[in-house]
């Protein structure tokens, strides 16, 4: 190349050539779909409460229910279609967590139940689980220290 | 004999002929603008196999057998088969040629494999080392997603610069004698890395390699862009093509009129929602062996340059902080 650009210049140049994601409309779609999932969750809580569960049990059962439907819709290949529209709106709620566990598991079936599904099921959710537990351990320790005084 | 006419370019004095070519593509590719030019369109991308890797090798094998059939040749009449794909250890190629009785050389040039194989085959035949050689390559959306990105059912959004891996395979049968378009020049690329680290922007990562090889080709052969009816790149896509044409102009070569890109041709970019266009070995493989080869046979194209580009990317090494090296190989094809 005669007109040799430095790597830095080239990377600056390609930024001008690469379209950005549509942040505003993506945020709006994420808010809409994420909000709808939360509304559905709230309705399920009320339903469980109506069926006689206390508030805490109703919330737990709602999480389980949403995880079930997240997994089911992933298996039926519907969840990724909603996610294509919703983006973060389907990743952030607990249904997105179900999707991130079920999708690698489905794909790893071809390598068997142990080295396939067993080893690869948490390839996406792994960091969330690890650092989630780690963060809660730190928070618990801080809470314990504070509660000493 | 071959004559080396520059640092990267070889002129083949006894140019090999592309005797015939076959292309098979997946369902989505079969809905694209080039649907009528492929030999076969799959109705099921699994091809009845239990894993995507097996699907890809079956796709490749079917394409190889179809090309042989079209060229009216038997396996024992082929001296070499040069094949490659995107998968680790080239499993697509290795398991497809396992059932064939042909000496094999495996290639990995990422998405540049089609022209890499035609370059080597051209020089093999031109140098007298072989009479007939098959060039074979494939890619499969599902096996590539698995290896390079996320599981298929994972709910994520692709960036606007992301490209869609083509499910498709192409096979060209080259011979020392016969009728058909000939490979007259081969320009071999160098690995070029301009420090791009975004694995969702392959076009930008590969464009510098394309510019390097294309400039070398023009400088070493003395040819001009206007000597070609078409300058066909493999899978630079919308962004990479834009960068290529703009920066080539700065190099003093105007290719805006006759540049085409397989990644832009194979899909209807807007309607088929493929963001920056198609990619993968099978993109150039199927578009060249399908659409372009037919256009050459009909003499609608007289002289073309085919240059497939490859992002030599490994997701693990990119996660370690490395950038994406790229390569481009070009072959001149004349009627």
The pLDDT, as a whole number, for residue A102 is 96
Give the mutation candidate from B155, B189, B246 for the A interface (greatest A CB count, under 10 A): B155
CB spacing of B153 vs A91 below 8 angstroms = no
Cβ–Cβ contact A80 with B under 8 A = yes
**Residue B209 and residue B195: Cα distance in Å, rounded?**
12
User: B320: buried, middle or exposed (CB in 10 Å: 19+, 13-18, 0-12)?
Assistant: exposed
The pLDDT, as a whole number, for residue A3 is 58
CB spacing of B251 vs A5 below 8 angstroms = no
Mean pLDDT of B18-32: 98
CB spacing of A19 vs B160 below 8 angstroms = yes
Mean pLDDT of A23-36: 96
Q: Could you tell me what percentage of chain A is helix, strand and coil, using 3-state DSSP and rounding each to the nearest 5?
A: 80, 0, 20
Mean pLDDT of A117-138: 96
CB spacing of A26 vs B157 below 8 angstroms = yes
Give the mutation candidate from A10, A14, A29, A95 for the B interface (greatest B CB count, under 10 A): A14
Cβ–Cβ contact A71 with B under 8 A = no
What CATH fold (topology level) applies to the domain B2-175? Answer: Peroxisomal Thiolase; Chain A, domain 1 (3.40.47)
pLDDT per position as a tens digit, B164-192? 999 999 999 999 999 999 999 999 999 99
How confident is the prediction for chain A on average, in pLDDT? 94
Cα Rg, chain B, nearest whole Å: 18
Number of Cβ pairs < 8 A linking chain A and chain B: 98
CB spacing of B50 vs A96 below 8 angstroms = no
Q: In this prediction, what percent of chain A has a pLDDT beyond 70?
A: 98
Residue B325, φ and ψ in degrees, nearest 5 = -75, 150
Give the mutation candidate from B8, B149, B153, B245 for the A interface (greatest A CB count, under 10 A): B153
Q: Hey, how many other C-beta atoms are within 10 angstroms of the C-beta on B297?
A: 16
pLDDT confidence band for B2 (50 / 70 / 90) = confident
Distance of alpha carbon B64 from the chain centroid: 15
**Residue B40 and residue B168: Cα distance in Å, rounded?**
10
Nearest to A1 among B154, B160, B211 (CB): B211
The pairing of strands B278-279 and B164-165 is parallel
Mean pLDDT of A16-42: 95
**Residue B291 and residue B166: Cα distance in Å, rounded?**
15
CB spacing of B194 vs A102 below 8 angstroms = no
**Residue B88 and residue A32: Cα distance in Å, rounded?**
40
What CATH fold (topology level) applies to the domain B182-334? Answer: Peroxisomal Thiolase; Chain A, domain 1 (3.40.47)
The pLDDT, as a whole number, for residue B1 is 64
Distance of alpha carbon B200 from the chain centroid: 19
pLDDT per position as a tens digit, A96-118? 999 999 999 999 999 999 999 99
The domain spans of chain B are 2-175, 182-334
Query: What residues contact B22, with CB distance under 8 A and at least 6 apart?
Result: B39, B63, B64, B66, B67, B69, B70, B170, B171, B289
The domain spans of chain A are 24-148
């Amino acid at each position: 190349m005669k007109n040799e650009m430095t790597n830095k210049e080239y990377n600056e140049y390609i930024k001008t050539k690469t379209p950005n994601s549509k942040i505003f409309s993506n945020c709006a779609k994420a808010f809409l779909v994420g909000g709808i999932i939360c509304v559905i969750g709230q309705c399920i809580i009320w339903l469980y409460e109506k069926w006689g569960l206390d508030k805490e049990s109703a919330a737990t059962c709602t999480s389980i229910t949403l995880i079930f439907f997240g997994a089911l819709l992933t298996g039926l290949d519907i969840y990724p279609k909603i996610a294509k529209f919703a983006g973060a709106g389907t990743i952030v709620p607990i249904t997105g967590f179900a999707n991130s566990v079920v999708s690698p598991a489905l794909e790893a079936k071809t390598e068997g139940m142990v080295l396939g599904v067993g080893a690869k099921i948490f390839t996406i959710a792994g960091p969330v689980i690890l650092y989630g537990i780690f963060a809660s351990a730190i928070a618990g320790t801080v809470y314990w220290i504070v509660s000493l005084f | 004999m071959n004559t080396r006419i520059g640092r990267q370019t070889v002129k083949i004095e006894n140019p090999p002929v592309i005797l015939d070519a076959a292309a098979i593509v997946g369902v989505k590719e079969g809905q694209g603008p080039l649907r009528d030019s492929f030999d076969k369109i799959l109705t099921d991308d699994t091809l009845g196999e239990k894993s995507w890797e097996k699907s890809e090798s079956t796709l490749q094998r079917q394409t190889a057998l179809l090309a042989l059939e079209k060229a009216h040749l038997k396996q024992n009449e082929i001296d070499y088969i040069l094949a490659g794909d995107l998968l680790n250890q080239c499993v697509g190629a290795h398991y497809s040629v396992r059932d064939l009785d042909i000496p094999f050389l495996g290639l990995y040039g990422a998405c540049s494999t089609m022209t890499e194989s035609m370059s080597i085959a051209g020089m093999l035949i031109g140098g007298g080392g072989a009479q007939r050689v098959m060039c074979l390559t494939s890619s499969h959306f599902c096996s590539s997603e698995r290896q390079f990105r996320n599981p298929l059912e994972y709910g994520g959004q692709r960036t606007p610069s992301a490209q869609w891996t083509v499910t498709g395979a192409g096979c060209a049968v080259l011979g020392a004698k016969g009728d058909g378009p000939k490979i007259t020049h081969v320009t071999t690329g160098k690995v070029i890395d301009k420090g791009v680290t975004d694995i969702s922007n392959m076009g930008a990562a590969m464009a510098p390699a394309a510019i390097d090889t294309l400039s070398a080709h023009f400088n070493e052969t003395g040819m001009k862009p206007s000597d070609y009816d078409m300058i066909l790149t493999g899978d630079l896509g919308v962004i990479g093509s834009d960068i290529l044409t703009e920066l080539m102009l700065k190099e003093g070569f105007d290719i805006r009129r006759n540049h085409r890109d397989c990644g832009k041709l194979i899909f209807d970019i807007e309607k088929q929602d493929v963001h920056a266009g198609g990619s993968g070995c099978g993109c150039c493989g199927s578009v060249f062996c399908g659409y372009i080869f037919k256009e050459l046979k009909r003499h609608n194209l007289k002289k073309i340059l085919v240059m497939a580009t490859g992002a030599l990317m490994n997701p693990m090494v990119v996660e370690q902080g490395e950038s994406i090296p790229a390569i481009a190989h070009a072959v001149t094809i004349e009627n």
